[in-house]
Structure 1
C-alpha cells in the first residue's frame, strides 16, 4: 500500500487507516469527552458554590460536617469512581482491540487476527 505521495505506508499508518483503529478512537472519544465534561462541570460547580454561596456551603449537617465539606469529599469520591469506571470500561471495551493493533505493528500480525 502507498500513501497519497506514492510512498509505501508504514505498519502504523496502515493500522491508523484501518476501520478497527478508527472505531477504537471513536469509542474512546465517546466515553472520555462526556466523562471529562461531567467532571469539570461538577468541579466548577463546587468552586463556584464555595466562592459565591458561602451561606449554603457553610450549613452544618451533623456536628461540624458542612455542605461544603461533603462537596469537597465528593470531589475525591468522584475522581476515584471515574477512574474505576474508566478502568473497567477500558478493560472490557478497548484493551483487546488495542492489543491486536499493537501486535500488528510490533509483530507484523495481520489485522484479521492471522499471522504475518
Structure 2
C-alpha cells in the first residue's frame, strides 16, 4: 500500500508539473502574443525559448522520476519482493554504490 501511494504521489506530481507548464505555454501563446514576441536575440524570441524549455523540462522531469524512484520506490519494492520470497535474497547494494551484476 505504501509503495502504491508513493508511486501515485510521484507520478501525479510530475504529471501536474508537466501539464501545468504546457498549459501555461499554450495560454501564453494564445493570449499573450506581445509578451511571446519579445525579441531576446536576433531571431530568438520568448516563445521560442519557452518552446525549447518544454523539451528541457521533459528531460528534467524524467531524470527526477528516475532519481526519486531509485531513492524512495525501488527500496520499498525490493523490501516487498524480499518478503514475498521469504527473505531468501541477499540485501541489495546501496543506490549510489557500485553496480553489481547478478
Q: TM-score, normalised by structure 1?
A: 0.68
Following TM superposition, by how much is the alpha carbon of 1:32 offset from its aligned partner in structure 2, in angstroms?
A: 1.7
1:51 — aligned with what?
Answer: 30
1:73-84 superposed matches below 5 A: 73-84=52-63
Structure 1: gaps (5+ residues): 1-21
Q: Is 1:94 the counterpart of 2:73 in the alignment?
A: yes
In structure 2, how many angstroms separate the alpha carbons of the residues matched to 1:109 and 1:100?
Answer: 10
Runs of 4+ in 1 over 6 A off after TM superposition: none
CA RMSD across the alignment: 1.6
Provide the rounded CA distance (Å) in 2 between the counterparts of 1:102 and 1:80: 30
Superposition pairs for residues 11-50 of structure 1, below 5 Å? 22-50=1-29
Query: In the aligned structure 2, how far is the partner of 1:96 from the partner of 1:38?
Result: 25
| Structure 2 residue runs without a partner (length 5+) | 89-102
For normalisation by structure 2, the TM-score amounts to: 0.76
**How far 1:26 sits from its partner (Å)?**
1.0
Structure with the largest fraction of strand: 1
| SS of the residue 1:62 aligns to | coil
What is the CA distance between 1:89 and its match in structure 2?
A: 0.7
CA drift of 1:55 comes to 1.3
The equivalent residue for 1:72 is 51
8 Å contact kept, 2:37–2:46: yes
